[in-house]
Structure 1
Amino acid sequence: MDDGKSKEKKTIVHSALDNIPLVSVMEHASIPWGIKSNESKFVYMNQAAMNFCNIPKGFDVEGRLDSEIPVSWSELAPELQAHDRKAEQSKEGADVIETAYFGRDAILAPWHCAKFPIYHSDGTVLGTMFYAKAFNFYSVYEFFNNSKPSVITLT
């Protein structure tokens, strides 16, 4: 029996989610987040992404291509743009594990970087949004002793 309250609650939640600006969520995140246009030009990067990518303080990335940013990885622009196109062509996006000297301290570490397409309301792709998280390695010992999974498949 529907008393109308569940429908009302769903409408309130949906309405509240519509009013949360995505950039505001990214701005307050501690992990690197960013947005690029479908021309691979940066639209937005939060401070964590600026630090992660070691972009010089005060440098404005907005409207710039990877190749126009004064960092060592700018030479990888063709590969990064190919990754943007791959993410735009898949509803699942595109993931990569990158190992490089990341951050202001230039620490060699692997990171999981994911890109997702951003769609306009008419279904066209506007660009991509991305985030990065430190990649965690688990030994078989740690996996068995700490995680205690119910099913394990090793290959």
Structure 2
Amino acid sequence: MQIADLLRYDSSRVDQTLVYILTLGVVDAYRNLGIATALIREVIKYASSIPVCRAVYLHVISYNNPAIHLYTKMSFNCIRRLHGFYLINGQHYDSYLFVYYVNGGRSPCSPLELVTVIVRCMKTGLKSMAAKLMMAKVKWPKGNETRGPVLTPNKRMTHIECSGLEYV
């Protein structure tokens, strides 16, 4: 999976770009002085000044808890854990992919879009069920107990497409 797939970014479009933070580190003696925060703010400011830039993104090794805390505190979104991303001294380590959206950039599946897709699927499914019920043959059971009609099952399977998701 490419970074573009995770960031709603189309690399074939020349009117979109991303900014990547390759490495950021602060020497122990100068930590907790706001240096990393100031540097990241400058990168975000720079990316925001490029009208076609959609996001700032970076990878962080999974055991670097201070960095993970910093990125989270600065409103970066953790998009994915990438297994075996780093190879250090012959050992594989996982990475987290963090992203900070700028200039209207957004995730390929925002919470609002997810709710919209679910509602659209439910609406389509209910319409389909209603149509099937209306078209189904109605048979009344024989005997004294007539609680209601018995619907004859339709031999066709219902197939609904919904924003790339299929339900059968």
**TM beyond 0.5:** no
TM-score norm. by structure 1 comes to 0.28
TM-score norm. by structure 2 comes to 0.26
